[in-house]
Amino acid sequence: MSWVNKHKLPAIKAIKHNNQLYLTIDNLWNALHSTFNTALHCWVDINILDEIVDKSSSSWTLFSKEEFKSAITNCNNSSTPGLDKLSWSHLKIILKDDVCLSNLISIANTYIDLGYWPSHFKRSTTIIIPKPNKQLYDSSKSFRPIVLLNTVGKLIEKVIGKRLQFLTALNNFIYSSQLESLKFKSMIDIGMALTHIIHSNWVKNLSSSTLVFNIAQFFPSLNHCILILILKKAGFDNYVVNFFANYLISRKTNYFWNNFTSPLSDINVRVGQGSTLSPILLALYLSPFLYILEKCLKNLKIPISIISFIDNGLFISQSKSLHISNCRLLCSYNVMTNLLKKFGLIVEHSKTEVYRSQGSFNPPPLDLLSIRGTVL
């Protein structure tokens, strides 16, 4: 099987973390664990969610055979298995048997009823891979984790994730301009929206300025207490809320670095980048923030369009005066930065960029020194 082939990481002398060299393997595990679990000791303000109106509760129905058949059909047979070493092709053969499929569905329904996720599904393998196009690989931040989970658990997660996507679309909890990895939304939509905004403002002789921001370490930074409260706000059945309250806790992982394997580590923050539940949980986590941000900007009378992806987003400002447009972007950026902290999140200022679109305008440069961004 191709997944067992060795893939060496870039050769380096030592990993730096917090400006210190980590020369032993134990220090390496500590550096990686700290990097990939940044929300472990982050302060959050749970009272911020009081500004979000609760959605009416929706009932959770039993899983069907059609849901499981649809989920497993689209699974890639070449996908790397987790600790159980069970491939998708093998599981597809097993679940062709109607008795096996019925038993698995019964087990999945029981997990929801009991609010329980087994410990063997909570254990994962975290493969450390280099981020592409980095000049140096001497920092723990130059690498990213890929989480390998048990295959049967992944299938159940796929079914649950798809159900959550449809339920959130039904009750309109997801912020309207949240895109990427969500049902009924695509990158084509955002391309058409941006093109329409820019061209319509050209007709009005307005200039468009777009600020691009990135949330640092978004996957590792999700606070589980905040997430559970958001699930309640979104109107999910108490069975579902109780299930995720158990699903998110007592998780453990081994880190793999070349031929080295770490001892088991607790990971009671973040969501795994290998889980199909991650996109919808990330979207749910960010939706209240975007609603509150929009409300704050309206109260401040700052007309800004907001578009959000999984861990980054855009502010779009239109005005005949680029000075006014720039001021709006800077004010919006500061409001967003302070609000994100209440959710246990931070902006990666070094990735902040500004783009402009204009007809006959000759815009002056936008000074982003105060927010440590870069100007294009």
pLDDT in tens, 130-140: 888 887 787 87
* pLDDT at position 61 over 90: yes
Binning pLDDT at 50, 70 and 90, where does residue 233 land? very high
Q: Going by C-beta distance under 8 Å and a sequence separation of 6 or more, which residues neighbour residue 304?
A: 297, 315, 316, 317, 328, 329, 332
**Residue 11 confidence (pLDDT):** 56
Provide mean pLDDT across the span 180-202: 74
Between strands 252-257 and 260-261, the pairing is antiparallel
Tell me what pLDDT residue 94 has.
95
Question: Do residues 344 and 42 lie in contact, with contact meaning Cβ atoms separated by under 8 Å?
Answer: yes
Extract the tokens encoding 278: 């991650």
| pLDDT for res 366 | 47
The β-bridge relationship of strands 15-17 and 20-22 is antiparallel
**pLDDT exceeds 70 at position 362:** no
The reported pLDDT for the residue numbered 171 is: 86
Residue of 243 and 266 predicted with greater confidence = 243
Residue 356, pLDDT score:
79
Residues 284-308 have a mean pLDDT of: 93
| pLDDT per position as a tens digit, 141-151 | 788 888 888 99
pLDDT at 4: 45
What burial class does residue 356 get, using C-beta atoms within 10 Å of its C-beta: 0-12 exposed, 13-18 middle, 19+ buried? middle
What residues does 353 pair with on adjacent strands? 212, 374
Q: What is the pLDDT of residue 3?
A: 44
Q: Which pLDDT band, with edges at 50, 70 and 90, does 29 fall under?
A: confident
The pLDDT value given to residue 269: 63
Angle at 291 between CA 376 and CA 223, to 5 degrees: 90
- What's at 75, amino acid-wise? C
Q: Which two tokens stand for residue 310?
A: 């999984």
| Stretch 305-311: mean pLDDT | 86
pLDDT in tens, 311-359: 889 999 988 888 888 899 999 999 999 999 999 898 989 899 988 766 5
358 compared with 57, residue with greater pLDDT: 57
- Whether the pLDDT of residue 365 is over 60: the answer is no
